[in-house]
Amino acid sequence: MNREIVFLLTIDTEEEGLWGGKFHRHPQCTVENIRQLPAFQEFCQHLEIRPTYLIDYPVIINDFSADIIRSLAQTGDCEIGAHLHPWCNPPYEEEITIPNTYTNNLPNKLQLNKLEVLTNIITEIIGVTPKSYRAGRYGFDESTVPVLEQLGYTIDTSIVPLRNNHRSEEPVFGMVELNPYFLNEHNIETHGNSRILEIPLTVDFTRPIPSIVKKWYPNFPDIGIRRVLRKIWGIDLVWLRPSYATLEEMQALADTVIGQGVRVLNMMFHSSELLPGASPYNKTRKDVEQFLKKVAELMQYLQNRYTIIPMTLQQCADKFISGVNISSGKISNHTLTGSKTV
């Protein structure tokens, strides 16, 4: 069966300088990497990818980067969502500490105030209110769900399945559904009645493994059982993220999850990875070219094996909410001609 697969590309569109572990208020932030986005959008259009740019406060508050985002939005071939970095998004009522860089560690009122500021300025400058959200540093838990609902968001894409860095201040995500599901306001890892549709990042193993191993994998120490699984059985946890995984790993990941009934692939990376030297992953122009080549080759691989339907987050949610059974493998009536999403 030629299965129909939704392909999403969700980009944390943000300032430079985060990789050194330093966090600054917005006046000290630079956003030079945003100058790379027009060429990248042309790259996406060539591949028929419809990216979702999840933008943060330093990007939208800067005149030149805001102009670029506005131009991208006007093409109609992408979506503009929100990405909250609490340390550089007013109001500044908290100290800059490592725990406070995760939005879910802040009081609900401060979460609301910060995201409201970001939402309002995106609406003012771009002209359409964002509906999609990703928390900076994946700082998301049940406390943010009512904040998103109150501000009119309908989509979250903050959950990283099977993520546990064993640090007390960081969110932990277990074995969650990779297809979209409505959040449970009491337990975001399970289905519920929230209006917020969760579209997790595509993170799983490169081959099928028993559920019990998958369930407990995040708790395994990296120097112990995980290493044995990698070295002896070739079992590894992989993100659909070209800076983290090889082309072969992403191909194996996609085939594995699709074989298990997943019908939505959600790739991510950061906008700074498109600027040479702005991230530890792509230090030179050649690195960026190889990075983009990997994305193109993955798309070609997927298109050769499946019917790939590129969408933005909002387009995917619209199909899901309108009653299309994404998990069935048939995504009917998916023509998006003339659809403009910001």
pLDDT of amino acid 324:
53
> Which residue shows structure tokens 């009536």?
333
Cα angle: 205, vertex 221, 178; to 5 degrees: 30
Task: Give the chain's mean pLDDT.
Answer: 91
- pLDDT tens digits, one per residue of 26-76: 999 999 999 999 999 999 999 999 999 999 999 999 999 999 999 999 988
Other residues' Cβ atoms within 10 Å of the Cβ of residue 125: 17
Three-state DSSP class for residue 249: helix
244-268 pLDDT, tens digit each:
999 999 999 999 999 999 999 999 9
Domain boundaries, the chain: 4-328
Instruction: Give yes or no for a contact between 236 and 261, defined as CB atoms under 8 angstroms apart.
Output: no
Residue 83 pLDDT greater than 60, yes or no: yes
Instruction: Report the alpha-carbon distance of residue 269 to residue 9 in Å, rounded.
Output: 8
Mean pLDDT of 2-20: 94
Contacts of 162 (CB under 8 A, 6+ apart): 173, 174, 175, 203, 204, 214, 217, 218, 237
Residue 172 DSSP code:
-
Q: Quick one: which of 131, 80, 137 has its CA closest to 106?
A: 137
Q: Among all chains, which residue has been given the structure tokens 């740019």?
A: 53
pLDDT at residue 332 greater than cutoff 50 = no
pLDDT value for 331: 56
pLDDT given at position 229? 64
Spatial CA neighbour of 256 closest among 228, 232, 229, 234: 234
Nearest to 294 by CA among 256, 252, 250: 250
Phi-psi region of 126 (alpha: psi -120 to 50; beta: other; left: phi over 0): alpha
Q: pLDDT, tens digit, for every residue of 102-111?
A: 999 999 999 9
Instruction: Give, rounded to a whole angstrom, the gap between the first and last alpha carbons of the chain.
Output: 33
Task: Please say if the pLDDT value at position 338 is more than 50.
Answer: no
The tens digit of pLDDT for each residue in 40-51 reads: 999 999 999 999
Helix (H) or strand (E) holding 9: strand 4-13
Residue 174, pLDDT above cutoff 60: yes
Percentage of residues of the chain with pLDDT beyond 70: 89
Q: Is the pLDDT of residue 199 over 70?
A: yes
Top-ranked range on mean pLDDT: pick from 60-69, 168-177, 218-227, 323-332: 60-69
| pLDDT tens readout for residues 263-315 | 999 999 999 999 999 999 999 999 999 999 999 999 999 999 999 999 999 99
- pLDDT of the residue at 191: 96
- Segment among 39-48, 168-177, 330-339 with least mean pLDDT: 330-339
Tokens of 264: 């939505």
Q: How confident is the model at residue 334 (pLDDT cuts 50, 70, 90)?
A: very low
CATH number of 4-328: 3.20.20.370
Using a pLDDT cut of 90, give the percent of the chain over it: 80
CB crowding 153-171: b at 16 or more within 10 Å, else e: bbbbbbbbbbbeeeeeebb
Closest CA to 310 of 272, 270, 339: 339
Q: Which residue has the tokens 């939208």?
A: 60
In this predicted structure, what is the pLDDT of residue 48? 97
Amino acid code (one letter) for 196: I
| Alpha carbons 69 and 30: distance in angstroms, whole number | 15
